Homo-oligomer: A and B are copies of this chain.
Amino acid sequence: MRISDRLLMGPGPSNPYPEVTMALGRPILGHLDPRFLELLDETNDRLRQLFGTSNRLTLPVSGTGSAGMEASFVNFVRPGDTVVVGVNGLFGERMCDVAVRHGAKVVRVDAEWGKPIEPARLLEAHPHPALIAVVHAETSTGVRNEIAPLGEGKADALLLVDMVTSLGGIDVAVDRWSVDIAYSGTQKCLGVPPGLAPLTVSARALGRRVERPSSWYLDLGLLAGYVNDTAGRGRVYHHTAPVAMVAALHAGLGALIEEGLDQARARHASCGTLLQEGLAELGLELLVSAEQHRLPQLTTVLVPAGVDDAAVRRELLSTYDIEIGAGAGRLAGKVWRIGCMGHTARRRNVLALLAALGEVLGR
């Protein structure tokens, strides 16, 4: 099979950092090898820096971002618990589905797809929910939801935030915002292939975790025994850690930290601005009208009337080796999603995409 060298500008995966690809080419280590455990510890330290937290329980869950979502609900929701979920896109919808499967009574707070959710509405939705859950950066719409006021106003509730598309790309501050549970994915702004879900849990949340959740694989009590030596007698084997992917994550986080987290965020911001201005110059309309609610790393643009959505994406892929994303959920066929995340977030790539899209659209 011929090797394709795609420029990945969809909603993820993004192109991995070269350091990540090199890490994947290294000999692997056993999951109980002291050198691997050292690498895992360092990976978790790096994740703490990215999340802005000192949470002891911070680890890559052995599944994709959605496994992080599931781990967040299965370990903290008991049947009958009231869970307030903000829904202004596909991933908010998904949270509702996952929460209901674990027996939660879900109180939905909907907002238009393309508009943010007002924090006050989430805080006023129920007098004493067990949990308030919201998506920080909605990958289906390109909207940024505000988190800080939720931490201030959550009272006794736990605050759960999906940071799949935000971590590494825009400001994230788990401790400062009083977030109790946050998860992410590796294939967005971290510049690592998909396969792991970074997760962090506050001590406050840990004190309320479900003792024996329905999922053995995602049981945080068991996972903590492997990542943190909670029993004080060495690590306890749970499942075989995906060592190659952990090495890749370690390398990706290393690249970001070496660049500087502020610099990396500024790079995402300037690429986002360049892209969004360029799309406007092509005469295209963005879904998210208010600039302050847009994500730099994920831009949704309306498919112009009379243009064949799929044909444009196919042409970009076949002629230019550039991938952009289709609309998802109720936006299917109506928007394109253009990602500018991780290693992909480079001025050169944005210019290439804009020029190619201009050619395909004949503008």
Q: Are A240 and B13 in contact, CB atoms less than 8 angstroms apart?
A: yes
A63 touches which one: B12, B63, B102 (CB < 8 A)?
B63
Residues of B within 8 A of A195 (CB): 62, 195, 242, 244-245
Instruction: Tell me if A8 counts as interface (CB < 8 A to partner B).
Output: yes
Chain B nearest CB, measured from A106 CB (Å): 13
- Contact with A64, one of B25, B30, B212, B242 (Cβ below 8 angstroms): B242
A217 touches B13 (CB 8 A): no
Instruction: Say whether B62 contacts A33, CB under 8 Å.
Output: no
Identity of the chain B residue whose Cβ is nearest the Cβ of A195 in the assembled complex? B242
Q: Does B27 contact A24, Cβ atoms closer than 8 Å?
A: no
A213 within 8 A of B: yes
Inter-chain CA distance A174–B24, complex, in Å, is 32
Interface residues on A, range: 35 or more
Q: CB of A214 within 8 A of chain B?
A: yes
**Copy total for this chain:** 2
A211-246: CB near B (< 8 Å → 1, else 0) gives 011111100000000000000000001111111110
Chain B residues whose CB sits within 8 angstroms of the CB of A94 once the complex forms = 216
Q: Across the two chains, which residue of chain B brings its CB closest to A188?
A: B240
Q: Which residue of B lies closest to A36 (CB)?
A: B4
Question: Which of chain A's residues 18-37 have a Cβ closer than 8 Å to chain B?
Answer: 21-22, 24-35
A121: chain B residues at CB < 8 Å are: none
A126 CB-CB contact with B under 8 Å: no
Bound form: Cα–Cα A240–B94 in Å: 14
Which of B24, B217, B245 touches A70 (beta carbons < 8 Å)? B217
Judge if A296 is at the interface, Cβ distance under 8 Å: no
Whether B13 pairs with A28 at a CB distance below 8 angstroms is: yes
**Are B217 and A63 in contact, CB atoms less than 8 angstroms apart?**
yes
Q: How far is the CB of A246 from chain B (nearest CB, A)?
A: 9
Contact indicator B240/A242 (Cβ below 8 Å): no
Flag if A33 contacts B12 (CB, 8 Å).
Answer: no
Residue of B nearest to A313 (CB): B32
B31 with A21: CB separation less than 8 A: no
Cβ of B13 and Cβ of A65 under 8 Å apart? no
CB neighbours of A24 from chain B (8 A): 24-25, 244
Q: Which residues of A contact B (CB under 8 A)?
A: 1, 3-6, 8, 10, 12-13, 15-16, 21-22, 24-35, 38-39, 62-67, 69-70, 74, 94, 97-98, 101-102, 185, 187, 193-195, 212-217, 237-245, 248, 317, 323, 326, 328
Q: Which 3 residue pairs are nearest across A and B when measured between Cβ atoms? A: A195-B242, A193-B244, A66-B239
Interchain Cβ contacts under 8 Å between A and B, 25 examples? A3-B27, A4-B27, A4-B29, A10-B32, A21-B25, A22-B25, A24-B244, A28-B193, A31-B194, A32-B326, A62-B67, A63-B217, A64-B240, A64-B241, A64-B242, A67-B217, A97-B216, A98-B216, A101-B215, A194-B240, A194-B244, A195-B195, A214-B214, A237-B328, A244-B245
Taking A64-B242, A67-B239, A94-B216 as given, write out 9 further A-B residue pairs in contact, using a Cβ cutoff of 8 Å, ordered by the A residue number: A3-B26, A6-B30, A10-B32, A24-B25, A31-B194, A62-B67, A101-B216, A194-B241, A195-B242
